[in-house]
A and B are shown apart, each in its own frame.
Chain A
Amino acid sequence: MDWELLRTSFWPMLSGGLTGTIPLSIASFAIGLALALVVALMRISGQPVLSGIARFYVSVIRGTPLLVQLFVIFYGLPSIGLTIDPWPSAIIAFSLNVAGYAAEILRAAILSVPKGQWEAGHTIGMSRALTLRRVILPQAARVSVPPLSNTFISLVKDTSLASLILVTELFREAQQIAAFSQQFMLLYLEAAAIYWVFCLVLSSGQSALEKRLGRYVAH
Protein backbone atom coordinates (compact mmCIF):
# COMPACT_ATOMS: atom_id res chain seq x y z
CA MET A 1 0.00 0.00 0.00
CA ASP A 2 1.37 3.35 -1.03
CA TRP A 3 0.72 5.33 2.17
CA GLU A 4 2.54 8.36 0.87
CA LEU A 5 0.25 8.58 -2.17
CA LEU A 6 -2.78 8.05 0.05
CA ARG A 7 -1.67 10.93 2.24
CA THR A 8 -0.74 13.38 -0.51
CA SER A 9 -3.87 12.62 -2.55
CA PHE A 10 -6.24 12.94 0.41
CA TRP A 11 -6.15 16.72 0.71
CA PRO A 12 -6.77 17.53 -2.97
CA MET A 13 -9.66 15.06 -2.98
CA LEU A 14 -11.18 16.30 0.27
CA SER A 15 -10.83 19.85 -0.92
CA GLY A 16 -12.49 18.86 -4.21
CA GLY A 17 -15.30 17.49 -2.09
CA LEU A 18 -15.60 20.54 0.13
CA THR A 19 -15.35 23.12 -2.64
CA GLY A 20 -16.93 21.12 -5.45
CA THR A 21 -19.15 18.22 -4.47
CA ILE A 22 -20.77 19.77 -1.42
CA PRO A 23 -21.56 23.27 -2.69
CA LEU A 24 -22.74 21.77 -5.97
CA SER A 25 -25.03 19.40 -4.08
CA ILE A 26 -26.41 22.02 -1.72
CA ALA A 27 -27.04 24.64 -4.42
CA SER A 28 -28.66 22.13 -6.76
CA PHE A 29 -30.80 20.64 -4.01
CA ALA A 30 -32.02 24.03 -2.77
CA ILE A 31 -32.93 25.26 -6.24
CA GLY A 32 -34.34 21.88 -7.19
CA LEU A 33 -36.54 21.74 -4.11
CA ALA A 34 -37.98 25.21 -4.73
CA LEU A 35 -38.69 24.21 -8.32
CA ALA A 36 -40.17 20.92 -7.14
CA LEU A 37 -42.68 22.77 -4.94
CA VAL A 38 -43.82 24.80 -7.94
CA VAL A 39 -44.14 21.67 -10.08
CA ALA A 40 -45.98 19.79 -7.31
CA LEU A 41 -48.45 22.66 -6.81
CA MET A 42 -49.02 22.88 -10.58
CA ARG A 43 -49.67 19.15 -10.61
CA ILE A 44 -52.33 19.31 -7.88
CA SER A 45 -53.78 22.64 -8.98
CA GLY A 46 -56.70 21.00 -10.77
CA GLN A 47 -55.98 23.17 -13.81
CA PRO A 48 -55.60 20.84 -16.79
CA VAL A 49 -52.95 22.95 -18.54
CA LEU A 50 -50.77 23.49 -15.46
CA SER A 51 -50.99 19.93 -14.27
CA GLY A 52 -50.34 18.69 -17.83
CA ILE A 53 -47.15 20.73 -18.02
CA ALA A 54 -46.04 19.44 -14.62
CA ARG A 55 -46.78 15.85 -15.59
CA PHE A 56 -44.84 16.23 -18.83
CA TYR A 57 -41.87 17.76 -17.03
CA VAL A 58 -41.67 14.95 -14.47
CA SER A 59 -42.00 12.37 -17.22
CA VAL A 60 -39.14 13.81 -19.28
CA ILE A 61 -36.79 14.23 -16.31
CA ARG A 62 -37.41 10.77 -14.94
CA GLY A 63 -37.41 9.15 -18.33
CA THR A 64 -33.99 10.33 -19.49
CA PRO A 65 -30.51 9.68 -18.04
CA LEU A 66 -28.98 12.38 -15.88
CA LEU A 67 -25.73 12.12 -17.83
CA VAL A 68 -27.59 12.81 -21.06
CA GLN A 69 -29.33 15.83 -19.47
CA LEU A 70 -25.96 17.13 -18.35
CA PHE A 71 -24.44 16.69 -21.82
CA VAL A 72 -27.40 18.32 -23.56
CA ILE A 73 -26.92 21.43 -21.43
CA PHE A 74 -23.13 21.62 -21.55
CA TYR A 75 -22.25 20.17 -24.96
CA GLY A 76 -25.57 20.48 -26.77
CA LEU A 77 -26.74 24.02 -26.08
CA PRO A 78 -23.60 25.68 -27.56
CA SER A 79 -24.65 24.41 -30.99
CA ILE A 80 -27.73 26.62 -30.78
CA GLY A 81 -25.58 29.52 -29.61
CA LEU A 82 -26.03 29.07 -25.86
CA THR A 83 -22.76 28.41 -24.12
CA ILE A 84 -22.85 27.92 -20.36
CA ASP A 85 -19.82 27.45 -18.10
CA PRO A 86 -19.25 24.08 -16.40
CA TRP A 87 -20.43 25.11 -12.92
CA PRO A 88 -23.70 26.78 -13.94
CA SER A 89 -24.33 23.94 -16.39
CA ALA A 90 -23.94 21.40 -13.62
CA ILE A 91 -26.18 23.34 -11.23
CA ILE A 92 -28.87 23.74 -13.90
CA ALA A 93 -28.81 20.06 -14.83
CA PHE A 94 -28.80 18.78 -11.27
CA SER A 95 -31.50 21.23 -10.09
CA LEU A 96 -33.82 20.31 -12.95
CA ASN A 97 -33.21 16.65 -12.21
CA VAL A 98 -33.85 16.96 -8.47
CA ALA A 99 -37.01 18.95 -9.21
CA GLY A 100 -38.44 16.11 -11.27
CA TYR A 101 -38.03 13.55 -8.51
CA ALA A 102 -38.77 15.81 -5.53
CA ALA A 103 -41.96 17.13 -7.16
CA GLU A 104 -43.53 13.69 -6.93
CA ILE A 105 -42.41 13.34 -3.31
CA LEU A 106 -43.87 16.73 -2.36
CA ARG A 107 -47.07 16.06 -4.25
CA ALA A 108 -47.62 12.84 -2.35
CA ALA A 109 -46.69 14.50 0.95
CA ILE A 110 -49.12 17.39 0.42
CA LEU A 111 -51.91 15.01 -0.54
CA SER A 112 -51.20 12.91 2.56
CA VAL A 113 -52.30 15.76 4.84
CA PRO A 114 -55.97 15.17 5.73
CA LYS A 115 -58.55 17.34 3.99
CA GLY A 116 -59.83 18.44 7.41
CA GLN A 117 -56.63 20.45 7.84
CA TRP A 118 -57.50 22.56 4.80
CA GLU A 119 -61.02 22.98 6.20
CA ALA A 120 -59.74 24.02 9.60
CA GLY A 121 -57.56 26.63 7.90
CA HIS A 122 -60.60 27.80 5.94
CA THR A 123 -62.82 28.15 8.99
CA ILE A 124 -60.32 30.31 10.85
CA GLY A 125 -60.28 32.61 7.84
CA MET A 126 -57.04 31.63 6.14
CA SER A 127 -56.54 31.92 2.41
CA ARG A 128 -55.48 28.78 0.58
CA ALA A 129 -51.94 30.13 0.26
CA LEU A 130 -51.70 30.87 3.97
CA THR A 131 -53.17 27.47 4.86
CA LEU A 132 -50.62 25.83 2.58
CA ARG A 133 -47.74 27.69 4.20
CA ARG A 134 -48.78 27.52 7.84
CA VAL A 135 -50.72 24.27 8.04
CA ILE A 136 -50.13 21.92 5.14
CA LEU A 137 -46.43 22.30 4.26
CA PRO A 138 -45.13 21.88 7.84
CA GLN A 139 -47.00 18.58 8.03
CA ALA A 140 -45.99 17.56 4.52
CA ALA A 141 -42.37 18.35 5.40
CA ARG A 142 -42.37 15.72 8.11
CA VAL A 143 -43.44 12.88 5.86
CA SER A 144 -41.22 13.99 2.99
CA VAL A 145 -37.95 14.04 4.94
CA PRO A 146 -37.05 10.34 4.41
CA PRO A 147 -37.69 10.26 0.64
CA LEU A 148 -36.13 13.70 0.14
CA SER A 149 -33.06 12.53 2.03
CA ASN A 150 -32.77 9.70 -0.47
CA THR A 151 -32.91 12.20 -3.28
CA PHE A 152 -30.26 14.34 -1.64
CA ILE A 153 -27.91 11.42 -1.02
CA SER A 154 -28.32 10.28 -4.62
CA LEU A 155 -27.56 13.80 -5.74
CA VAL A 156 -24.32 13.97 -3.73
CA LYS A 157 -23.09 10.86 -5.52
CA ASP A 158 -24.45 11.93 -8.90
CA THR A 159 -22.42 15.14 -8.77
CA SER A 160 -19.44 12.95 -9.69
CA LEU A 161 -20.90 13.07 -13.21
CA ALA A 162 -19.97 16.76 -13.27
CA SER A 163 -16.35 15.64 -13.64
CA LEU A 164 -17.32 14.80 -17.24
CA ILE A 165 -18.11 18.44 -17.95
CA LEU A 166 -14.87 19.66 -16.39
CA VAL A 167 -16.16 20.73 -12.97
CA THR A 168 -13.42 20.37 -10.37
CA GLU A 169 -14.91 18.19 -7.67
CA LEU A 170 -13.96 15.15 -5.65
CA PHE A 171 -14.01 12.57 -8.41
CA ARG A 172 -12.25 14.73 -10.98
CA GLU A 173 -9.42 15.23 -8.50
CA ALA A 174 -9.25 11.46 -8.06
CA GLN A 175 -9.18 10.89 -11.81
CA GLN A 176 -6.38 13.39 -12.34
CA ILE A 177 -4.19 11.98 -9.59
CA ALA A 178 -4.90 8.44 -10.77
CA ALA A 179 -3.97 9.25 -14.35
CA PHE A 180 -0.73 10.75 -13.12
CA SER A 181 0.20 8.00 -10.62
CA GLN A 182 -1.45 5.03 -12.38
CA GLN A 183 -2.73 3.82 -8.95
CA PHE A 184 -6.36 3.45 -10.03
CA MET A 185 -7.55 0.97 -7.44
CA LEU A 186 -6.17 2.89 -4.50
CA LEU A 187 -7.38 6.31 -5.58
CA TYR A 188 -10.87 5.30 -6.65
CA LEU A 189 -11.39 3.38 -3.42
CA GLU A 190 -10.22 6.44 -1.54
CA ALA A 191 -12.70 8.59 -3.45
CA ALA A 192 -15.45 6.07 -2.68
CA ALA A 193 -14.57 6.22 1.02
CA ILE A 194 -14.86 9.99 1.10
CA TYR A 195 -18.27 9.90 -0.65
CA TRP A 196 -19.35 7.33 1.88
CA VAL A 197 -18.34 9.51 4.82
CA PHE A 198 -20.21 12.47 3.31
CA CYS A 199 -23.33 10.31 3.02
CA LEU A 200 -22.98 9.00 6.57
CA VAL A 201 -22.99 12.58 7.82
CA LEU A 202 -26.11 13.26 5.74
CA SER A 203 -27.88 10.20 7.12
CA SER A 204 -27.31 11.31 10.69
CA GLY A 205 -28.56 14.76 9.70
CA GLN A 206 -31.68 13.08 8.36
CA SER A 207 -32.28 11.30 11.67
CA ALA A 208 -31.92 14.54 13.61
CA LEU A 209 -34.33 16.33 11.27
CA GLU A 210 -36.88 13.51 11.47
CA LYS A 211 -36.71 13.64 15.23
CA ARG A 212 -37.21 17.39 15.30
CA LEU A 213 -40.13 17.39 12.86
CA GLY A 214 -41.68 14.39 14.57
CA ARG A 215 -41.88 15.97 18.01
CA TYR A 216 -45.62 16.51 17.70
CA VAL A 217 -46.61 12.94 16.85
CA ALA A 218 -47.05 10.02 19.20
CA HIS A 219 -44.06 7.69 19.35
Chain B
Amino acid sequence: MTPTVSLNTGHNRYWFVFGGMLLLVAMIVGTMIGPAGPTWWRIPLEFLDRLPFIRINSGVSEQDWNIVWLIRTPRVVLAAIVGSMLSISGASYQGVFRNPLVDPYLLGVAAGAGLGATLVFAFQRGATENWIVDPLPLAAFVGALAAVLVTYVVGTAFGTTQSTTTLILAGVAVTSLATSIQAFILQRNTDVVRQVYSWILGRLSSATWGDVRLVLPYVLLSTGVLFMHRRLLDVLRVGDDEASALGINVRRVRLIVVLAATLGTSAVVAVSGLIGFVGIIVPHAVRLLAGASYRRVLPLSVLLGAAFLVFADIPSRVLANPAETPIGVVTAFFGAPFFLYLLRTRNSST
Protein backbone atom coordinates (compact mmCIF):
# COMPACT_ATOMS: atom_id res chain seq x y z
CA MET B 1 0.00 0.00 0.00
CA THR B 2 1.18 3.53 -0.64
CA PRO B 3 1.39 6.14 2.08
CA THR B 4 -1.68 8.32 2.31
CA VAL B 5 -1.01 11.99 2.70
CA SER B 6 -3.07 13.61 5.41
CA LEU B 7 -5.25 16.55 4.61
CA ASN B 8 -4.81 17.84 8.10
CA THR B 9 -3.04 21.05 7.25
CA GLY B 10 -3.26 23.52 4.40
CA HIS B 11 -5.68 21.67 2.15
CA ASN B 12 -8.30 22.06 4.82
CA ARG B 13 -9.23 25.58 3.91
CA TYR B 14 -9.81 24.76 0.25
CA TRP B 15 -12.52 22.29 1.09
CA PHE B 16 -14.36 24.88 3.12
CA VAL B 17 -14.04 27.45 0.35
CA PHE B 18 -15.24 24.84 -2.14
CA GLY B 19 -18.20 23.90 0.07
CA GLY B 20 -19.15 27.52 0.62
CA MET B 21 -18.96 28.33 -3.09
CA LEU B 22 -20.97 25.27 -3.98
CA LEU B 23 -23.70 26.23 -1.53
CA LEU B 24 -23.77 29.79 -2.86
CA VAL B 25 -24.05 28.60 -6.46
CA ALA B 26 -26.74 26.11 -5.45
CA MET B 27 -28.80 28.78 -3.75
CA ILE B 28 -28.51 31.24 -6.65
CA VAL B 29 -29.42 28.60 -9.21
CA GLY B 30 -32.17 27.38 -6.90
CA THR B 31 -33.88 30.77 -6.89
CA MET B 32 -33.50 31.12 -10.66
CA ILE B 33 -35.31 27.98 -11.75
CA GLY B 34 -38.96 27.18 -11.38
CA PRO B 35 -42.14 26.52 -13.34
CA ALA B 36 -43.47 30.11 -13.05
CA GLY B 37 -41.95 33.52 -12.44
CA PRO B 38 -39.55 35.88 -14.22
CA THR B 39 -36.84 35.01 -16.73
CA TRP B 40 -34.01 33.25 -14.92
CA TRP B 41 -31.20 35.73 -15.55
CA ARG B 42 -33.19 38.67 -14.19
CA ILE B 43 -33.39 37.16 -10.72
CA PRO B 44 -29.79 37.63 -9.52
CA LEU B 45 -29.99 41.21 -10.80
CA GLU B 46 -33.15 41.82 -8.83
CA PHE B 47 -31.50 40.39 -5.69
CA LEU B 48 -28.56 42.75 -6.21
CA ASP B 49 -30.98 45.64 -6.74
CA ARG B 50 -32.53 44.97 -3.36
CA LEU B 51 -29.20 45.17 -1.57
CA PRO B 52 -28.41 48.57 -0.07
CA PHE B 53 -26.43 51.02 -2.22
CA ILE B 54 -26.90 49.01 -5.42
CA ARG B 55 -29.35 50.08 -8.11
CA ILE B 56 -29.94 47.84 -11.11
CA ASN B 57 -33.00 47.80 -13.30
CA SER B 58 -33.71 44.10 -13.53
CA GLY B 59 -37.13 44.42 -15.15
CA VAL B 60 -38.79 42.09 -12.65
CA SER B 61 -42.37 42.98 -11.87
CA GLU B 62 -43.65 43.11 -8.31
CA GLN B 63 -45.80 40.04 -8.92
CA ASP B 64 -42.88 38.08 -10.30
CA TRP B 65 -40.75 39.17 -7.38
CA ASN B 66 -43.37 37.78 -5.02
CA ILE B 67 -43.07 34.40 -6.69
CA VAL B 68 -39.34 34.52 -6.21
CA TRP B 69 -39.30 35.90 -2.70
CA LEU B 70 -42.34 34.25 -1.14
CA ILE B 71 -42.34 30.88 -2.90
CA ARG B 72 -38.93 30.05 -4.27
CA THR B 73 -36.55 31.65 -1.79
CA PRO B 74 -38.02 30.14 1.38
CA ARG B 75 -38.01 26.82 -0.40
CA VAL B 76 -34.32 27.14 -1.24
CA VAL B 77 -33.48 28.32 2.27
CA LEU B 78 -35.49 25.50 3.83
CA ALA B 79 -33.80 22.95 1.53
CA ALA B 80 -30.43 24.25 2.69
CA ILE B 81 -31.43 24.03 6.34
CA VAL B 82 -32.93 20.55 6.01
CA GLY B 83 -29.99 19.26 3.96
CA SER B 84 -27.41 20.56 6.39
CA MET B 85 -29.30 19.29 9.44
CA LEU B 86 -29.83 15.78 8.07
CA SER B 87 -26.18 15.59 7.02
CA ILE B 88 -24.66 16.76 10.28
CA SER B 89 -27.05 14.53 12.25
CA GLY B 90 -26.15 11.56 10.11
CA ALA B 91 -22.44 12.24 10.54
CA SER B 92 -22.86 12.59 14.31
CA TYR B 93 -24.93 9.43 14.65
CA GLN B 94 -22.31 7.55 12.63
CA GLY B 95 -19.71 8.95 15.02
CA VAL B 96 -21.30 8.02 18.33
CA PHE B 97 -22.39 4.60 17.09
CA ARG B 98 -19.18 4.00 15.14
CA ASN B 99 -21.28 2.54 12.39
CA PRO B 100 -21.08 3.87 8.85
CA LEU B 101 -24.51 2.55 7.91
CA VAL B 102 -26.37 4.54 10.51
CA ASP B 103 -28.61 7.41 9.49
CA PRO B 104 -30.37 10.07 11.56
CA TYR B 105 -33.57 8.01 11.50
CA LEU B 106 -31.90 5.12 13.35
CA LEU B 107 -33.44 5.49 16.77
CA GLY B 108 -37.03 5.92 15.63
CA VAL B 109 -37.20 9.53 14.41
CA ALA B 110 -38.72 8.51 11.08
CA ALA B 111 -41.29 6.09 12.44
CA GLY B 112 -42.26 8.43 15.28
CA ALA B 113 -42.70 11.39 12.95
CA GLY B 114 -44.58 9.19 10.48
CA LEU B 115 -46.95 8.02 13.18
CA GLY B 116 -47.53 11.56 14.40
CA ALA B 117 -48.28 12.79 10.87
CA THR B 118 -50.52 9.80 10.15
CA LEU B 119 -52.57 10.55 13.23
CA VAL B 120 -53.15 14.12 12.04
CA PHE B 121 -54.12 12.99 8.53
CA ALA B 122 -56.42 10.32 9.93
CA PHE B 123 -58.25 12.72 12.20
CA GLN B 124 -59.58 14.79 9.35
CA ARG B 125 -56.89 17.06 8.05
CA GLY B 126 -59.58 19.37 6.64
CA ALA B 127 -60.93 20.18 10.07
CA THR B 128 -57.60 21.58 11.20
CA GLU B 129 -57.37 24.24 8.50
CA ASN B 130 -58.55 27.03 10.76
CA TRP B 131 -56.37 26.10 13.66
CA ILE B 132 -53.91 28.76 14.77
CA VAL B 133 -51.06 26.27 14.83
CA ASP B 134 -50.81 23.68 12.07
CA PRO B 135 -50.88 20.39 14.00
CA LEU B 136 -49.03 18.41 11.29
CA PRO B 137 -45.45 19.54 11.94
CA LEU B 138 -46.16 19.64 15.66
CA ALA B 139 -47.42 16.05 15.72
CA ALA B 140 -44.49 14.86 13.59
CA PHE B 141 -42.02 16.68 15.83
CA VAL B 142 -43.52 15.32 19.05
CA GLY B 143 -43.83 11.83 17.57
CA ALA B 144 -40.18 11.81 16.51
CA LEU B 145 -38.87 13.05 19.84
CA ALA B 146 -41.10 10.68 21.80
CA ALA B 147 -39.97 7.68 19.77
CA VAL B 148 -36.29 8.44 20.35
CA LEU B 149 -36.83 9.08 24.04
CA VAL B 150 -38.57 5.72 24.43
CA THR B 151 -35.72 4.08 22.53
CA TYR B 152 -33.12 5.71 24.72
CA VAL B 153 -34.84 4.96 28.02
CA VAL B 154 -35.54 1.34 27.08
CA GLY B 155 -32.14 0.85 25.46
CA THR B 156 -30.12 2.14 28.39
CA ALA B 157 -32.33 0.57 31.07
CA PHE B 158 -32.02 -2.94 29.66
CA GLY B 159 -28.48 -2.63 28.36
CA THR B 160 -26.20 -4.49 30.72
CA THR B 161 -23.04 -3.43 28.95
CA GLN B 162 -21.98 -0.08 27.63
CA SER B 163 -22.35 -1.34 24.11
CA THR B 164 -24.58 0.46 21.66
CA THR B 165 -26.14 -2.72 20.35
CA THR B 166 -28.99 -2.66 22.87
CA LEU B 167 -29.74 0.93 21.95
CA ILE B 168 -29.83 0.18 18.24
CA LEU B 169 -32.03 -2.88 18.81
CA ALA B 170 -34.36 -0.80 20.97
CA GLY B 171 -34.53 1.63 18.04
CA VAL B 172 -35.50 -1.22 15.75
CA ALA B 173 -38.21 -2.35 18.18
CA VAL B 174 -39.64 1.14 18.64
CA THR B 175 -39.59 1.69 14.88
CA SER B 176 -41.51 -1.55 14.30
CA LEU B 177 -44.01 -0.69 17.00
CA ALA B 178 -44.67 2.81 15.64
CA THR B 179 -44.86 1.50 12.07
CA SER B 180 -47.35 -1.18 13.06
CA ILE B 181 -49.60 1.34 14.80
CA GLN B 182 -49.30 3.57 11.75
CA ALA B 183 -50.25 0.68 9.45
CA PHE B 184 -53.21 -0.13 11.65
CA ILE B 185 -54.47 3.46 11.49
CA LEU B 186 -53.94 3.60 7.72
CA GLN B 187 -55.86 0.35 7.33
CA ARG B 188 -58.86 1.97 8.96
CA ASN B 189 -58.51 5.24 7.06
CA THR B 190 -57.62 4.18 3.54
CA ASP B 191 -58.68 7.58 2.17
CA VAL B 192 -55.55 9.25 3.59
CA VAL B 193 -53.01 6.65 2.41
CA ARG B 194 -52.00 8.81 -0.54
CA GLN B 195 -51.45 11.90 1.58
CA VAL B 196 -49.43 9.99 4.17
CA TYR B 197 -47.38 8.31 1.48
CA SER B 198 -46.55 11.63 -0.14
CA TRP B 199 -45.61 13.08 3.27
CA ILE B 200 -43.31 10.13 3.93
CA LEU B 201 -41.45 10.67 0.66
CA GLY B 202 -40.69 14.20 1.75
CA ARG B 203 -41.46 17.50 0.12
CA LEU B 204 -40.37 21.11 0.25
CA SER B 205 -43.08 22.40 -2.09
CA SER B 206 -45.16 24.11 0.56
CA ALA B 207 -42.19 25.80 2.24
CA THR B 208 -42.83 29.25 3.65
CA TRP B 209 -40.77 31.72 5.63
CA GLY B 210 -42.89 30.57 8.56
CA ASP B 211 -41.44 27.06 8.21
CA VAL B 212 -37.94 28.51 8.14
CA ARG B 213 -38.63 30.50 11.30
CA LEU B 214 -40.16 27.42 12.90
CA VAL B 215 -37.17 25.12 12.45
CA LEU B 216 -34.29 27.58 12.60
CA PRO B 217 -33.94 27.82 16.41
CA TYR B 218 -33.82 24.03 16.80
CA VAL B 219 -31.41 23.61 13.92
CA LEU B 220 -29.08 26.31 15.22
CA LEU B 221 -29.11 24.89 18.73
CA SER B 222 -28.57 21.35 17.54
CA THR B 223 -25.84 22.28 15.08
CA GLY B 224 -24.06 24.35 17.72
CA VAL B 225 -24.04 21.50 20.23
CA LEU B 226 -22.85 18.99 17.62
CA PHE B 227 -20.08 21.35 16.50
CA MET B 228 -18.83 21.62 20.06
CA HIS B 229 -18.52 17.84 20.18
CA ARG B 230 -16.59 17.30 16.98
CA ARG B 231 -13.22 16.82 18.63
CA LEU B 232 -14.76 14.33 21.07
CA LEU B 233 -16.29 12.41 18.18
CA ASP B 234 -12.75 11.91 16.91
CA VAL B 235 -11.70 10.48 20.27
CA LEU B 236 -14.68 8.11 20.22
CA ARG B 237 -13.32 6.59 17.03
CA VAL B 238 -10.96 4.43 19.10
CA GLY B 239 -13.88 2.75 20.86
CA ASP B 240 -15.73 3.24 24.13
CA ASP B 241 -13.10 1.63 26.33
CA GLU B 242 -10.14 3.51 25.01
CA ALA B 243 -12.06 6.78 24.87
CA SER B 244 -12.96 6.27 28.55
CA ALA B 245 -9.36 5.54 29.37
CA LEU B 246 -8.48 8.78 27.59
CA GLY B 247 -10.68 10.67 30.00
CA ILE B 248 -14.03 10.90 28.21
CA ASN B 249 -17.38 10.22 29.78
CA VAL B 250 -18.57 8.21 26.81
CA ARG B 251 -22.19 7.72 27.88
CA ARG B 252 -22.68 11.40 28.54
CA VAL B 253 -21.13 12.45 25.24
CA ARG B 254 -23.26 9.90 23.40
CA LEU B 255 -26.44 11.03 25.13
CA ILE B 256 -25.83 14.70 24.40
CA VAL B 257 -24.91 14.09 20.77
CA VAL B 258 -27.90 11.81 20.19
CA LEU B 259 -30.29 14.28 21.83
CA ALA B 260 -28.93 17.23 19.86
CA ALA B 261 -29.00 15.37 16.55
CA THR B 262 -32.50 14.07 17.29
CA LEU B 263 -33.84 17.50 18.18
CA GLY B 264 -32.61 19.02 14.94
CA THR B 265 -33.69 16.05 12.83
CA SER B 266 -37.17 16.00 14.37
CA ALA B 267 -37.58 19.70 13.65
CA VAL B 268 -36.65 19.41 9.97
CA VAL B 269 -38.61 16.19 9.50
CA ALA B 270 -41.65 17.98 10.90
CA VAL B 271 -41.63 20.52 8.05
CA SER B 272 -40.15 18.50 5.22
CA GLY B 273 -41.25 14.91 5.76
CA LEU B 274 -38.82 12.04 5.52
CA ILE B 275 -36.11 12.85 3.04
CA GLY B 276 -33.97 9.76 2.91
CA PHE B 277 -30.40 9.13 1.91
CA VAL B 278 -29.00 12.61 2.62
CA GLY B 279 -27.87 11.69 6.13
CA ILE B 280 -25.82 8.76 4.87
CA ILE B 281 -24.53 9.89 1.54
CA VAL B 282 -23.35 13.40 2.37
CA PRO B 283 -21.16 12.55 5.39
CA HIS B 284 -19.61 9.68 3.43
CA ALA B 285 -18.97 11.83 0.40
CA VAL B 286 -17.28 14.33 2.71
CA ARG B 287 -15.15 11.59 4.26
CA LEU B 288 -14.10 10.32 0.87
CA LEU B 289 -13.18 13.81 -0.27
CA ALA B 290 -11.63 15.44 2.79
CA GLY B 291 -10.77 12.65 5.24
CA ALA B 292 -12.56 11.09 8.15
CA SER B 293 -11.77 13.49 10.98
CA TYR B 294 -14.97 14.87 12.47
CA ARG B 295 -13.36 18.27 12.74
CA ARG B 296 -13.78 18.49 8.99
CA VAL B 297 -16.66 16.10 8.48
CA LEU B 298 -19.18 18.07 10.55
CA PRO B 299 -18.69 21.57 9.12
CA LEU B 300 -18.27 20.26 5.58
CA SER B 301 -21.41 18.13 5.96
CA VAL B 302 -23.31 21.30 6.79
CA LEU B 303 -22.09 23.05 3.63
CA LEU B 304 -22.28 20.13 1.23
CA GLY B 305 -25.51 18.77 2.72
CA ALA B 306 -27.17 22.13 2.23
CA ALA B 307 -25.87 22.44 -1.32
CA PHE B 308 -26.88 18.86 -2.17
CA LEU B 309 -30.48 19.26 -1.09
CA VAL B 310 -30.86 22.66 -2.78
CA PHE B 311 -29.61 21.10 -6.03
CA ALA B 312 -31.79 18.01 -5.55
CA ASP B 313 -34.83 20.20 -5.08
CA ILE B 314 -34.47 21.76 -8.54
CA PRO B 315 -35.31 18.64 -10.57
CA SER B 316 -37.99 17.88 -8.02
CA ARG B 317 -39.76 21.12 -9.12
CA VAL B 318 -39.32 20.89 -12.85
CA LEU B 319 -39.01 17.20 -13.73
CA ALA B 320 -42.71 16.37 -13.75
CA ASN B 321 -43.95 19.94 -14.12
CA PRO B 322 -46.58 20.97 -13.07
CA ALA B 323 -46.59 18.06 -10.62
CA GLU B 324 -43.91 17.77 -7.91
CA THR B 325 -41.51 14.87 -7.86
CA PRO B 326 -40.94 13.86 -4.23
CA ILE B 327 -37.51 15.10 -3.25
CA GLY B 328 -36.67 11.80 -1.56
CA VAL B 329 -36.93 10.20 -4.98
CA VAL B 330 -34.54 12.74 -6.45
CA THR B 331 -31.96 12.50 -3.65
CA ALA B 332 -31.73 8.75 -4.06
CA PHE B 333 -31.89 8.80 -7.85
CA PHE B 334 -29.00 11.24 -8.28
CA GLY B 335 -27.25 10.58 -5.00
CA ALA B 336 -26.79 6.84 -5.33
CA PRO B 337 -24.90 6.83 -8.66
CA PHE B 338 -22.76 9.78 -7.55
CA PHE B 339 -21.93 7.95 -4.36
CA LEU B 340 -21.01 4.78 -6.23
CA TYR B 341 -18.79 6.87 -8.48
CA LEU B 342 -17.01 8.35 -5.46
CA LEU B 343 -16.54 4.92 -3.90
CA ARG B 344 -15.05 3.60 -7.10
CA THR B 345 -12.66 6.44 -7.82
CA ARG B 346 -11.48 6.71 -4.23
CA ASN B 347 -10.92 3.01 -3.79
CA SER B 348 -8.88 2.71 -6.93
CA SER B 349 -6.67 5.67 -6.03
CA THR B 350 -5.58 4.41 -2.61
A binds B: no
Residues of B at the A interface (CB closer than 8 Å) are none
Residues of A at the B interface (CB closer than 8 Å) are none
